[in-house]
Chain A
Amino acid sequence: MKEAQATGPAGDDPVSAGHGPTWASPEFGAIYEEHSRQIFYLALRFLGDPAQAEDATHDVFLKAYRKLGEFRGDSAMRTWLYRIAINHCKNLRQTWYQRNMVSNADDSIWESAVSRTETPLRVLEIKELGERIQKTLDALPEEYRLLLLLVADEQLSYEEMAALTGQSSDAIRGKLHRARKSFVLQFQKPA
């Protein structure tokens, strides 16, 4: 799969020339600058498609802008954006699955999976890391994939992850343990 790229060769248009956008709301521009990487990464690895991830990130920030009046500041801005992103990406996946009638793998496979989680994950070539991670995540149940992507963001606490996924912190801890095991098992499979 083609990985997301930063920029193309410099040209006359402001994007390829490397100029930043002019924001109608500079405050919102600052929010975009601070959080777009994590939101894009979540969408990219959750959906597994760079073009879809780009569209999803655009839609997430547009929705966020429209709903800014509803943001009460009870949670961190990052958590609020994640909530919008998770709902949006889940809806996209659901629509895609309904259209393509693809059934998920039996989750019980992962529940009973035994792996050596203490073994370090070894990678020879960092440039191939993205593709290998995507293959690994694609093979996991959706819930595990989401939990791993959220826990990778060091800004999020277990309590915030619990709130985002509608579960208790204890449930999150248990599921994360199984998600890590499943990831390691899948990652170590020969290509």
Chain B
Amino acid sequence: MNPKSPKFQHQQKQETTEQAAALQTTHEFASPEEILRRDAAQVEVPAALAHRVAESIAKEPKPSRSWWRKLFSRGEANG
């Protein structure tokens, strides 16, 4: 078939439209929180951020350890 013929061009356009339609899937969400949960699951925390926080904390004096005792004694009591 002649690629410049109107029939060929029409056929090609139709195929492109069908391909685009096949790629588009409608996603339905029942509530705003459902859509936000999906969004949250997609968002990645930048990897560099953990290093940045770890570096900043390394420069800090050590915090009081009292809360660790509370946390662990709580865990032991619950566990």
Contacts and interface: CB of A to CB of B under 8 A. Distances in A.
Interface stretch (A82-90, A91-99, A101-109, A145-153): A145-153
A184 B28 CA distance: 13
Interface in A104-121: 120-121
B51 A21 contact: yes
Main secondary structure of the interface of A (DSSP, over half): helix
A73 B24 contact: no
Nearest to B30: A120
B46 interface: yes
A154 B26 contact: no
B27 A184 contact: no
B63 interface: yes
Interface size class of B (residues with CB under 8 A): 35 or more
Given A15-B47, A37-B40, A120-B28, A129 B35 contact: yes
A28 B60 CA distance: 13
Interface in B1-46: 24-40, 42-46
Interface string A55-71: 00110011001111101
Main secondary structure of the interface of B (DSSP, over half): helix
Interface string A106-143: 00000000000000111111100110010000000000
Contact of A38 (B40, B46, B56, B70): B40
Interface in B35-75: 35-40, 42-58, 60, 62-64, 66-68, 70-71, 74
Interface residues of A, number: 62
Given A40-B43, A58-B49, A152-B37, A121 B56 contact: no
A5 B42 CA distance: 10
A100 interface: no
A180 B31 contact: yes
B57 A121 contact: no
A15 B56 contact: no
A102 B28 CA distance: 34
B57 to A, nearest CB: 5
10 contacts: A4-B45, A21-B51, A24-B58, A37-B45, A50-B46, A66-B60, A121-B34, A121-B35, A133-B36, A133-B39
Interface of A: 3-7, 14-16, 18, 20-25, 27-29, 32-33, 36-38, 40-41, 44-45, 50, 54, 57-58, 61-62, 65-69, 71-73, 120-126, 129-130, 133, 148-149, 151-154, 179-180, 183-184, 187
